[in-house]
Amino acid sequence: MKLHEIDPGWKDFATPRQIQVIDAVLEHGWAGAQKRLGLASPRNLYSSIERARDTAARQGYSPRHDMTKTVPEGYHVRGVSTYYDADGNVQSQWVKSHADYEKQLQMMREAVEAIAETIPKAKKTPDVKKHLNQDLLNLYIITDYHLGMKSWHEETGDDWDLSIAEDLIYNWFEYAIAAAPDTEVGVFCQLGDFTHFDSLEAVTPTSRHQLDADSRAQKMARIAIRVYRRVIACMLKKHKHVHVIVADANHDPMGSIWCREWIEAHYEEEPRVTVDLGADGYYCYEHGDVSLFFHHGHKRKPNNIDDVFAAKFRDVFGRTKYSFGHMGHLHHKELKETNLMVVEQHRTLAAKDAYAARGGYLAGRDAPVITYHKEYGQVAKLDISPEMVGG
């Protein structure tokens, strides 16, 4: 890249460091900028400026290519069609853009965090009066619940809609809480894809696959919040401490963000409720000699996730004796024991949608409550199906 080719307009799309590099090169030249910034190689200057140039082009700014119409924050240019006359003058131009998913997600995260500051706080609840086993922990796992999905039994084998889904999860938790031991700690792990879609459109966020949806997005969100409040309230009657995990997933990445932030804000004054606010899709809970790890399964598979858990939570993994990984995403059971831990992939309580039924994905339906002992690891597990709770 020659000095005269550097466009000061690139600074409007650059990072602070890239702006510093552009200014230094324009003022002092390549050699002078390298010396002034203390860089070992001029290649660092070139790379920094090239990244600023490329970012500007993705936003629609590249005057040497007759591109000056930029797109708003949260979007990228997908293509530009420019029409010239016989003399080479621009006659018209069509700028095609698409959503910058990662940028929009970051913008929405910031909005959710701001809204969470105004959410009403839950009042502190009285402690549980009955004797609770301090050595035991109950883990309640719900994954791929797809609240908001529509399924017709003649096509899929079972009916599913918002009303059925809401009734079933209440019945499931009532049964699970009654059947599980009276433990001091209860972990509510919502392992991802709790809601079926993530916007006003019933499509998957990244691939934009059309989904079978029941009702409207606002109604789905209202019921989701109601479910969380009621489930947590029930668990507080059973356990002294309730820990909540809302995992990132592929169907509802934004939904998982606002749920985590809402729960944290709502229970801010309730010391008996804690929320994992992890933002990278991997979660951990430590209970004595037991470490529990969680990931939805859309980024890593059961056969190659144990080392990721161990590396991400190195301290916890190093000081615990028994480690268990939990995953969802594929809607069927799989249990794998490695040299590092036991990794279990869980079924869903939800009915199949048309895509799964027609594709021959016919796994059973259930969700587990698993009991762990501080010294001995897993000591009990109950798989509860919809039929067991009248679903």
Interval 21-38: pLDDT, tens: 899 989 888 888 888 888
Interval 82-98: pLDDT, tens: 777 777 787 776 666 55
Q: How many CB atoms lie within 10 A of CB 129?
A: 7
Task: Return the pLDDT at 41.
Answer: 74
Domain residue spans of the chain: 7-58, 131-389
Report whether pLDDT(56) > 60: yes
Task: Return the pLDDT at 192.
Answer: 97
Task: Return the pLDDT at 354.
Answer: 93
Q: How many CB atoms lie within 10 A of CB 252?
A: 29
Interval 218-265: pLDDT, tens: 899 999 999 999 999 999 999 999 999 999 999 999 899 989 989 998
Report whether pLDDT(333) > 90: yes
Rounded mean pLDDT, 373-389: 98
pTM tops 0.85, yes or no: no
Q: Tell whether domain 131-389 is in CATH 3.60.21.10.
A: yes
Q: Which residue has the tokens 């998982």?
A: 256
E-strand ranges in the chain read 75-84, 90-99, 133-142, 183-190, 241-246, 273-275, 283-287, 290-294, 322-327, 334-337, 342-345, 367-373, 377-384
Report whether pLDDT(299) > 60: yes
Task: Return the pLDDT at 110.
Answer: 59
